[in-house]
Amino acid sequence: MSFMVQTGWTAQRWTAVFIEQAELFRRAVAEADPAAEVPTRPGWTVQDLVIHVGRFLETSTEYLRTGSRNPIKPTPPQSGLSPLEYLDLQLVGAAEVLTAVPGNRPVWTFSPSAPDLAWVWHRRIAHETVLRRYDAQTVVRQVGATDPDLCVDGIDEVLTTIVAAKLDGDSPHDVTGSALVRSTDVPESWLISLTAGEVPEVRSAAPGEEGDAQVVGEAELVYFWLWNRMNLKEMAGDKQVLDVLRVGRGH
């Protein structure tokens, strides 16, 4: 069974991350030309990015608002608002909902390895906003550093939650193998084991332990490599396993 290697995170802490990162994202897209291309997301303009974030927030926070135990169909896009007006509406609404809903509220979640609890959405919304803040800042060439502890939590989310969600959508999932993922500037490390047709198993890696693939680097580099935003030199081993871990292709 997968579990959180990183501890000390709460719904309140993820909400604080969201509020901080949302402000940075909003500042970057306000400075950018809406028609400018997003370097980290080929084919997207800044306007596309703004609309995507608004839609993501509207859809994901609906689970927290309603406590739905089943998947919800996205609502039709709101008309009569400019992309930035729509974004601002969703940013305010998301901050209110994330603050109001406790992390232990039962609710449908998106990954077979995640519990059906609201904190999974708090975490996902926080890290999606980090990722999109990074995308927006690449447009205006003002990319800020990301806190290593936050990056470690993001790595943990990818390995314990996002990989399983990705594989759940593949038909069939036939990759078998393991990977050691280790950050060099903080103590956490993970071993993820993949078995065809099964939910991946994730645990803390033992000292000296290796996998069929290895991903090693500073937490920020590993985090953004997993999301296909940065290059990483210190990786080796089974290419199929590495491809499974790199969840950001097309995202």
Q: For 103-119, how does the pLDDT look when each residue is reduced to its tens digit (9 = 90+)?
A: 999 999 999 999 999 99
* Mean of pLDDT values over 68-87: 90
Q: Where residue 250 falls among pLDDT bands split at 50, 70, 90?
A: confident
* Mean of pLDDT values over 78-103: 95
In this structure, whether the domain defined by 148-245 belongs to CATH 3.40.630.30 is answered with no
The structural domains of the chain, with segments of one domain joined by +, span 11-140, 148-245
Query: 106 to each of 6, 37, 66, how far by Cα in Å?
Result: 22, 39, 10
212 vs 216: CA distance, rounded Å? 13
- Token reading at 69: 């135990």
Query: What would the pLDDT profile of 17-65 be if each residue is shown by its tens digit?
Result: 999 999 999 999 999 999 999 999 999 999 999 999 999 999 999 999 9
Residue 227 has pLDDT above 60, yes or no: yes
The answer to whether the CB of 37 falls within 8 A of the CB of 76 is: no
Q: Which helix (H) or strand (E) holds 149?
A: helix 148-157
Percentage with pLDDT > 70 across the chain: 96
Residue 4 has pLDDT above 80, yes or no: no
- pLDDT for the residue 1: 46
Please write down the HEC assignment for all residues of 49-114: HHHHHHHHHHHHHHHHHHCCCCCCCCCCCCCCCCHHHHHHHHHHHHHHHHHHCCCCCECCCCCCCC
Q: Where residue 75 falls among pLDDT bands split at 50, 70, 90?
A: confident
Query: What would the pLDDT profile of 160-219 be if each residue is shown by its tens digit?
Result: 999 999 999 866 678 999 999 999 999 999 999 999 989 999 999 999 999 999 999 999
Options 1.20.120, 3.30.70, 3.40.50, 1.10.10; which CATH number does 11-140 get?
Answer: 1.20.120
- If one counts every other C-beta atom within 10 angstroms of the C-beta of residue 127, the result is 26
- pLDDT for the residue 249: 83
Do 11-140 and 148-245 share a fold? no
- pLDDT for the residue 17: 98
* Mean of pLDDT values over 82-102: 97
DSSP state of 234: S
- pLDDT for the residue 115: 96
Query: What would the pLDDT profile of 118-147 be if each residue is shown by its tens digit?
Result: 999 999 999 999 999 999 999 999 999 999
231 vs 220: CA distance, rounded Å? 11
DSSP state of 212: S
3-class SS of residue 202: strand
Using a 10 angstrom Cβ sphere, with 0-12 exposed, 13-18 middle and 19 or more buried, the burial of residue 165 is middle
